[in-house]
């Protein structure tokens, strides 16, 4: 009889379980980010439709999430927001990071809204 025995390796089983756990945790993080982010996004959109400095900063944030190449976001703009809007902005950024969906898809008529924000901000740049 040989000194070697064939067996089913356990590490694969443990690796599969660990991978499943990471995937579940990632999905949970996505769901939590979306849940909080959607409420925050509604608030940001309401304020962004105004005419204040905070509205301007929020339009720039939403445009950066929509098309960051054309609308890069300068982080100091967060300083121009009150604490509540800062928290909402960070929640929306987190949602956009973890959700796997484009920001405009969370908004009914999102393309049209962001196009309007785009036009407002282009006019402000002139």
Residue extents of the structural domains in the chain: 18-125
**pLDDT tens, position by position, 89-110:** 999 999 998 887 899 999 999 9
- pLDDT of 3-60, one tens digit each? 777 666 666 677 788 888 888 888 888 888 888 899 999 999 999 999 999 999 999 9
CB atoms within 10 A of CB 78: 15
Distances (CA, A) of 87 to 23, 31, 34, 37, 68: 27, 18, 14, 10, 20
Q: How many CB atoms lie within 10 A of CB 37?
A: 25
Run of H or E including 31: helix 10-48
**pTM for the whole structure:** 0.79
């Amino acid at each position: 009889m040989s000194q070697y025995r064939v067996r089913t390796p356990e590490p694969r089983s443990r690796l599969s379980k660990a991978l499943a756990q990471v995937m579940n945790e990632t999905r949970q993080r996505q769901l939590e980010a979306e849940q909080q982010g959607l409420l925050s996004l509604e608030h940001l959109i309401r304020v962004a439709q105004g005419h204040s400095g905070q509205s301007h900063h929020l339009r720039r944030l939403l445009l950066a999430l929509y098309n960051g190449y054309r609308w890069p976001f300068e982080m100091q703009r967060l300083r121009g927001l009150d604490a509540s809007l800062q928290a909402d902005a960070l929640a929306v950024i987190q949602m956009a990071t973890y959700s796997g969906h484009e920001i405009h898809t969370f908004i009914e008529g999102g393309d049209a809204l962001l196009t309007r924000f785009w036009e407002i901000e282009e006019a402000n740049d002139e």
